Structure 1
Amino acid sequence: MGERYDYIVVGAGAAGLSLAYHLVQAGVEGRVLLLERAPKTKNDRTWCFWETGTGSFEPLVFRRWEHLWFYGEGQALRLSIAPYAYKMIRSCDFYAHMERWISGQPQLTLRYGEVSRIGEDQQGPWVEQEGRVYWGRWVFSSLYQPPPPSPRYHHLLQHFKGWVVRTSGPVFDPQAAVLMDFRLPQRGPACFGYVLPFDAQTALVEYTLFSPRLLPPEAYDQGLREYLEDVLGVGRYEVLESEFGVIPMTDAPFPRRPSPRVIRIGTAGGCTKASTGYTFQRIQAQTRRIAQALRETGRPILPPGSSRHALMDSVLLHLLERGYAPGERVFSRLFRKNPPQRVLRFLDEATGWLEDLQVMASVDIPVFARAVLGTLLRRWGVGAWR
């Protein structure tokens, strides 16, 4: 019989570390074991989100902006998003902070090594790491497994490459991030630039696409060069860091509970917003709810998500995937015809029916209606989904 813990968390990334944090903050008693392949020391990703006020990880916010730029259909919109702020956390800062924090929490143990198996039998759930078996009352896993493919659901990818660049002169607006810049040759449903300025000469610049398949590696570098040189007019620049990411954009249901006491969290547990790819704040909401449920009931009971907003995600994915309207037109009309605060509330799933309809109808009522019908027919397995 291996070592026994109350809670085992497989994966010490954003989801696993956030769950550990919220378990402690909620006052959940019991020993917690975190398992991760190897120490995380690199700045391998960037998490961005919007919120009002201060959040749980406010000291880790590297930059924040109260204005956003949007470029599309020949228009440049500089949007004030107050009372929201758009915030950026670097993964290297998050990992280092959480490792220091864990070392001061006696109920938490962090161990490194490859996890080979997760299972459950009559004695409870267990995890095998480097030949050692650990048993727990509950196991939470952030190891990603894509949902089974199904023609009834949409399966796009958000894929991007980013460079942190330093330019020879002032180029960027330090007071405003560039949320979407469609002044690029379009490839697939959507292709845009994304800029997080650190100062007037330094920024994280990303080349981002929504499409069913990845590009050859060299195509991302070419896209970044075109965006920097042809769109932003940057002459000389130095690449300081590089990152690459792929985020699933799917409305297919994720199996959140592969066995009674094994629960998937984070992207593996369906936390990624299907229509946008934003994940960090949804991870905080999910792991906070798990911790509260454990404290109050002893069981990690999760309420179902909003079926209405899930339908809205599916409609937007259907509209993009089937090509009813170019991504540039869809997002341009969303931001041109709605206050940005309404769009952000909509993406946060904090709107009611009236605001939902206002947002979706701003795309184009006939196109929206066609996408709703196509989504429902697809879900029911009827016809050609048009």
Structure 2
Amino acid sequence: MNRFHYIIAGAGCAGLSFLVRLLQTGQFSHKKILLIDKTPKTVNDRTWCFWEKEPGIFDPIVHKSWKRLRFYHLTYNASYDISPYTYKMIRAIDFYQYCLQIISEYPNVTIEYATIDHIENNRDGVILHTAQQSYSADHLFSSILLENPVLKNNQYYLLQHFKGWVIETKDPVFNAAEATLMDFRIDQQHGTAFVYVMPFSAHRALIEYTLFNDQVWSQEEYNEGLRKYISTILGTDDYAILEEESGIIPMTNYRFPTHQRCITFLGTAGGQTKASSGYTFQFIQKQTAQLVDAMVHNFKPIVETPFLSKRFHWYDATLLNILHNNKLPGDFIFKELFKNNKITDVLQFLDNETSLLREIKIITVLPKRVFIRAALQQLT
């Protein structure tokens, strides 16, 4: 059995972010590290969009950025200057290639491709089993969900599922200086649904059709939604589809474990997907930075949520309660948030970085009776 100091299970956003940060400290080149995933990352299978104030470690591969965002609803629309934030987009293939190039410079890292059967703790650390062989390590970092969570009372598991097209239009349709964060001017009968538009030029953009509910659509249903949006909202039928992507993100207030003895969970598997929005990329960056900092200082690689910060989980659970039980339409909730608050406050709130006083101001624009009742239910 091959023995390593560390195993990173999953070569997606969380696993690669963590490993790159770990290696770039310069303090772990003597450690034997295994990076393992099912298959090589060779396609552009997703896109990450996020906002931040300062340049991040992945700024060299930001594909496009915007200083203005637009929000659309049938009864409200607005264009926002989001300074001091910048809205950024990273293509997955660029991310994979960038990280793997950095990793290739470290001979202490071994990369293997195999399907992971199961992972177990033992007295000497942890063992990862594949169909072909097993690997042991002092500690394992996993971003792979090996089993579905078992929900308790007042826990919900919705899905944010989406399909996107990169299209090129004959006519100049897009404003390349402004991205559409949410466009709710589409059918809401199947749950909270919106489109976001990331324009690269006047003729090219990523169009993503997104839903919050518990039922994944067929590919043709997404395609029909995209075609209808492009035709009726963007006003063009003359375009070519250059790329496609799709995905499913859990929106749940289930409390994913952060660790189990010699296993630390990363990304979605470690609870880093924000339950009310599906945003994950920046939460992964915060988590992996904190883990690496702990390891540099010889602390256990564990990141626990501070007590006062747990209130954000409560806010998210309250919204899921309302959406799951159809107490209010999702498009109405987001419209009220964006209409009645400063855009920078909303972005900071969605990043879990606001003060309690600011949160009270933000939340009180929403129907108080419904939200208070749902919030109290989530305390039981």
Give me the TM-score of the superposition, normalised by structure 2. Answer: 0.95
Q: Which residue of 2 aligns with 1:178?
A: 180
Q: Deviations over 1:31-59 (max 9, x none)?
A: 21101222111000001110012001000
Task: Describe the SS at the equivalent of 2:176.
Answer: coil
- 8 Å CA contact 1:10, 1:141 repeated in 2: yes
Query: Counterparts of 2:256 and 2:52 in 1: how far apart (Å)?
Result: 26
Deviation at 1:373, TM superposition (A): 2.5
What is the match of residue 14 of structure 2?
Answer: 15
Letter in 2 for 1:9: I
1:131: how far off?
A: 2.1
Deviation at 1:298, TM superposition (A): 4.1
What whole-Å deviation, never above 9, does each CA across 1:203-235 have from its counterpart, x for those lacking one? 110111111211233211111111111111112
- Matched position secondary structure for 2:302: coil
Deviations 1:95-128 (A, max 9, x none): 1111111111233222222222311222320112
* Residues 165, 242 of structure 2: 8 Å contact kept: yes
Identity %: 42
1:327 counterpart residue number: 330
Identify the residue that residue 87 of structure 2 maps to in structure 1. 86
Q: Which amino acid aligns with 1:312?
A: Y
CA distance in 1, matches of 2:14, 2:38: 15
Unaligned ranges ≥5, structure 2: none
Corresponding position of 2:199: 197
Give the equivalent residue in structure 1 for 2:372.
Answer: 369
CA contact (8 A) 1:72 1:183 kept: yes
Distance 2:154 2:322 in 1: 14
Q: What's the CA shift string for 1:140-191, capped at 9, x where partnerless?
A: 1111243213342121110111111111111111011111111111133311
Count residues with an aligned counterpart.
375
Q: Indicate conservation of the 8 Å contact 1:73/1:332, yes or no.
A: no
Corresponding position of 2:23: 24
Any conservation in 1 of the 2:258–2:304 contact (CA below 8 Å)? no
1:52 corresponding residue in structure 2 = 53
Secondary structure at the counterpart of residue 303 of structure 2: coil
User: How far 1:299 sits from its partner (Å)?
Assistant: 1.5
Matched to 1:182, the amino acid is: F
Q: Is the contact between residue 315 and residue 375 of structure 1 (CA under 8 Å) also seen in structure 2?
A: yes
8 Å contact kept, 2:167–2:205: yes
Q: Separation in 1 of the partners of 2:376 and 2:4? A: 49
> How far did 1:7 drift?
0.6
Match of residue 103 from structure 1: 104
Alpha-carbon distance in structure 2 between the residues aligned to 1:73 and 1:357 = 27
Q: What stretches of structure 1 move > 4 A for 4+ residues in a row?
A: none
1:122 matches 2:123: yes
How far apart, in 2, do the equivalents of 1:118 and 1:28 lie?
Answer: 27
| C-alpha distance in 2 between matches for 1:281 and 1:26 | 20
SS at match of 2:98: helix
Unmatched 5+ stretches in structure 1? 381-386
2:5 is paired with a residue whose SS is strand
TM-score (norm 1): 0.94
Q: Report the Cα distance in structure 1 between the residues aligned to 2:214 and 2:10, rounded to whole angstroms.
A: 27
Maintained 8 Å contact 2:124/2:138:
no
Contact 1:28 1:294 in 2 (8 A): no
Match of 1:247 in 2: 249
2:212 — aligned with what?
Answer: 210
Query: Could you say which residue in structure 1 is the equivalent of 2:344?
Result: 341
Counterpart of 2:5 in structure 1 is: 6
Deviation, 1:359, is 1.2
Which whole-Å CA distance do the structure 2 matches of 1:146 and 1:203 have between them? 35
Contact 1:60 1:89 in 2 (8 A): yes
> Could you tell me how far 1:25 is from its partner in structure 2?
2.7
The CA distance in 1 between the partners of 2:367 and 2:123, in whole Å, is 55
> Helix, strand or coil for the counterpart of 2:333?
helix
Equivalent-residue separation in structure 2 for 1:364 and 1:10 (angstroms): 43
Question: SS of 2:255's equivalent?
Answer: coil
AA aligned opposite 1:56? I
For 1:95, the aligned partner's letter is Y
The aligned counterpart of 1:149 is 151
